[in-house]
Amino acid sequence: MTRLFLCDLDGTLIRPGHPLSPETLSTMERLVGQGDIVAIASGRSLYAGRNILRPGMPLSYWLFSTGVGVLKWGTQEIVCKNELTAEQVRYAAECLLGFQEDFMIQGPVPENHRFVYYKFDKRETDGTDFWTRCNAYKGLCEPFEPHGYEYQPSSQLIAVLPPDAERIERIRAALEGYTVVRATSPMDNHSVWLEIFNPNAGKANAAKWLAQYCNIPQENTYAIGNDYNDLDMLNWAAHAFITPNAPEDMKAMFPVTETDTEGALPEAVMTWGVVSG
């Protein structure tokens, strides 16, 4: 009986600036060794994840960029990809411009670490990490002027805004035909990155695709995460855990591990009773 294990990365398995722990790697190795499928489901692009996920790691698949694509680890082949068309990008961008929200348009896979951005000059968003993200990708991003801009296919758009529920829901409602995912910025742990995807992207959609691809029934799926961008995956999986650093409202929805990051996956696997021997 093959099982599928879906693991968020940042804040769930690793702390900022840290690698995967020996305990986590050992647990992953045991799961893969007994024939299970272990998948990292991360918001990181291929570019941003390579410094953490290294060749030879006991890993089966990587659901990257919040499910925009699925990479088969052994062959490094992208086996699934769901991106936005140029028309979908244009519609979403015009929506954000109408709401006067600051946003970025990421390039297509595998160049989706590159992006163009538009920033309104308004005081209410000065508290976000918009410029921090731009500075982190210096040389890989540039501003664009919407008037007359020729939109291209894209992996996603990212609106950067404060944690304002009313503004978030307004955007969701306007982009009903898209997958819209709220994520807490890993840079300042405060700003909201509202990620806008093809309707077939998202962690849950990628997880469903992978389960079908590997012929694994949903009842044999397990997930662990820590933030709002994991919600759809956690709700879809038959078994789920979140870590203690998750938002308080999520703790009322899922069981919580006692340990953070380094020991979270080993604890969850032990509690699920899925390691033989």
Query: Domain with 45 in it: what CATH number?
Result: 3.40.50.1000
251 and 187: one domain? no
CATH at 150: 3.30.1240.10
Tell whether 171 and 206 lie within a shared domain. Answer: no
Query: 98 is in which domain, residue-wise?
Result: 86-197
Q: Is residue 140 part of a domain?
A: yes
Q: Tens-digit pLDDT profile for the chain (277 aa)?
A: 899 999 999 999 999 889 999 999 999 999 999 999 999 999 999 999 999 999 899 999 999 999 999 999 999 999 999 999 999 999 999 999 999 999 999 999 999 999 999 999 875 556 899 999 999 999 999 999 999 999 999 999 999 999 999 999 999 999 999 999 999 998 998 999 999 999 999 999 999 999 999 999 999 999 999 999 999 999 999 999 999 999 999 999 999 999 988 899 999 999 999 986 5
**Is residue 277 domain-resident?**
no
Q: Which of 181, 197, 213 is the last residue of a domain?
A: 197
Asked whether residue 120 is domain-assigned, the answer is yes
Positive or negative torsion for Cα 102, 107, 109, 112: negative
Residue 78 and residue 95 in one domain: no
Counting the structural domains of the chain, the total is 2
Say what the pLDDT of residue 124 is. 57
Q: Are residues 144 and 193 in the same domain?
A: yes
Whether residues 265 and 222 fall in one domain = yes
Residues 11, 100 within the same domain: no
Asked if residue 158 and residue 94 are part of one domain, the reply reads: yes
Query: Could you tell me if 37 and 74 lie in one domain?
Result: yes
219: in domain: yes
Identify whether residues 91 and 72 lie together within a single domain: no
60 and 10 assigned to the same domain: yes
Last residue of a domain, one of 166, 197, 228: 197
Dihedral of alpha carbons 54, 6, 77, 92, sign: negative
Per-residue pLDDT at 127: 82
Q: Rounded to whole angstroms, how far apart are CA atoms 203 and 15?
A: 20
**Alpha carbon 206 to its chain's center:** 11
Instruction: Please state the separation of Cα 28 from the chain's center in Å.
Output: 20
User: Which of 146, 166, 197 finishes a domain?
Assistant: 197
Give residue 247's identity as a one-letter amino acid code.
P
Residue 224 is predicted with a pLDDT of 98
pLDDT tens-digit readout, 74-93: 999 999 999 999 999 999 99
Q: Per residue in 2-26, pLDDT tens?
A: 999 999 999 999 998 899 999 999 9
Question: In what side-by-side order are the strands of the sheet with 239-242?
Answer: 77-81, 69-72, 61-64, 37-41, 4-7, 221-225, 239-242
The reply to whether 220 falls in a domain is yes
Count CA atoms closer than 13 A to 98's CA, side-chain side: 10
> Does residue 176 sit in the same domain as residue 155?
yes
Based on the domain organization, do 78 and 208 belong to the same domain? yes
